[in-house]
Amino acid sequence: MTASDILAWHDFFSSVAGAGATLAGLLFVGLTISLEHIVQARGYLSRAFTALFLQFEVLLLGLFALVPGQPGYVLGIEWIVAGVGVLLGITAFRRNFPEDENSMVLGSRGPRIVRFVLTHTGTLLPAVAGIALFFGWAEALYLVIPAIAACIYLSIGYAWVFAVEIPRRNATGGK
């Protein structure tokens, strides 16, 4: 993979970086709206951290790909570090702030499994793409598309929960 191959994706990665930064801002708004409720439930703190760090990862994926003239193997190393680093951070935070009885909104087993799958898709696929780039696989860039979609989907879902569902359920007594 050459720098010119990566350059062909410039507009895509520019959009990705902008979306990551914008959605991180949206998450901060949602968190601010529900801050009182979020700090009372460890599981919500974990979800907030996850949402913000997934958008941070999206931003990093886009920014790293925009570095002019960068060889594919360097981009690969950056994506490996970003994906694995974000997953390790999320996992450590989740261990310290596990789901509890106060984090009821979408806290059942099904939504937890969906969150787990999307989080791992969003973090491990960029690492796999990075490995593929390191070894020169030209189609490796396509692997980050589902990863970015998973990160954005999950983060928008979290923003909805923080900005709408938590305040709504608390106003109606949890119904």
Buried residues in 57-95 as b, exposed as e (16+ CB within 10 A):
bbbbbbbbbbeeeebbebbbbbbbebbebbbebbeebbe
Domain coverage including residue 145? 3-171
Mean of pLDDT values over 65-76: 94
Residue % of the chain over a pLDDT of 90: 57
- Provide the whole-model pTM: 0.89
pLDDT band at residue 174 using 50, 70 and 90 as cut-offs = low
Comparing 13-17, 24-28, 121-125, 143-147, the range with the smallest average pLDDT is 24-28
Mean of pLDDT values over 75-102: 93
- The pair of three-digit structure tokens given for residue 168, joined into one six-digit string: 């709504």
- The pair of three-digit structure tokens given for residue 6, joined into one six-digit string: 């990566």
| 163 has a pLDDT exceeding 90 | no
pLDDT band at residue 164 using 50, 70 and 90 as cut-offs = confident
In the chain, how many domains are there?
1
Top-confidence residue, 8 or 3: 8
